[in-house]
Structure 1
Amino acid sequence: MIEASVEHPVKALRHQISERGWSMDDALHRGHGPSVPHVMERFHCEQCAKAVLRDQEKDESLEREMRDDDQRQQRAWMQETQQRQKRKRTEKEHEQRRLFEFLSDGSSDSDGMAEAAQLIKGLKVPQLKHVYATNQLLVSGSKGALEERILGCKKHGRLGRSCPLCGNSKLELKYAPDNATEPHAVQCKHMRGMGRPCPFKKEFTPDTKVTVLTGQLVDDAEGDLRIVGLLP
């Protein structure tokens, strides 16, 4: 303790400390918010005050460095995420083009698929989406994805109804990565919430495909497929 008097004054630092805590109600998610702050006063001699200020400056400098580091990491993470998403989109578009070209290859056993592929390319995105909704197919995706799905539906067929589990019309044929010749399943792509996809997926083989994909490609109410000559 340092004594001071009128004859022997001592410089001192007076500061306030505010302690704020969270109430038990808020900890239990009742929404009452933090408790009222508890304010205390402290005095330091000149020498101790300088030491306190130095410590505060160090703490503030460290906090700034940590905040800057967090921001750098956040920017790097966002950049990496964007690059990863871009790579995935590029890979997916490449796979869709490859599958579309295979399905429309006139040298394979796909009778009339080459001509059908050219006719499908004449459809606009709104027309493709109308046809998809009519055929209970997944509507989202790029134009290339829509063209690939509708060509696959024409060649292999479709489930012929909405998803038997969730009732949504978001079905898609699934092809094996190493074999684009035949689909091996039809899957529902509906999301019931974050990380909660519809579990419907019906597997089949080339021999049992006709018992699962009982539906055929049908036209929408506007007759878009007939307009481009894809259906009689």
Structure 2
Amino acid sequence: MAHTGSLLFLVLCLALCWAGESTGLTAHSRLNRDDEVLVSESAECDTDPDKPRTKYEIRKAEEMERRQVQLSRNEKATKEVKKQKRREDYEALQEKLAKEKVAQEEARKNRQLKYEEEVEERAQKKLKAQAPTVDPRDPSARGSVTLRLKGPSNIPSLTLEVPLGQRLGVVAQKGSEHFRMKDINKVRLIFHGEVLKRSDTAEMHGFRQGDVLDIKQDS
């Protein structure tokens, strides 16, 4: 009898526990469903355009708008800075190329001038080597030198074979006849800017083969 009473008590306890758990689960499920409905309604209210906005929402929207405007200005300013930088780089490159071009042209002119000087020097050496050797102690073997007289531009120059012992007055006489100068007394021979005396000889001035003398008539 005592054993039967214990079993009944145990069965009653199990039944009460099962009923409590079932009731708790049902209440918890109901609470979850209520929360979902509240969240859904809140979301619908937030997206409702007719719903009046709070001061916080207005300030937040204005702040977002100001940020968007500032961002747009910053992007525009950045583009302008990059554009200006590209323009400055292009101008600097053009200036550099122009300077390099000037330097290259100057170097080319210098090379050309040096080449012409070397050619002239070789020609002078060749003329000097071809000139006969003169013994200064033998007046009869002094030899001669080829001189070119340059006068008015409209008359061709005159080339003369001048004996080294010959006076320059003879050269002036021949030059005045060639260039049709009327007054021999006004004729002047000029070499490297120096007016030569007629009484001088070609030997006294150390002329080289092919030297050019200017002949002019004083007005």
TM-score relative to the length of structure 2: 0.36
Structure in which a larger fraction of residues adopt helix: 2
TM-score relative to the length of structure 1: 0.35
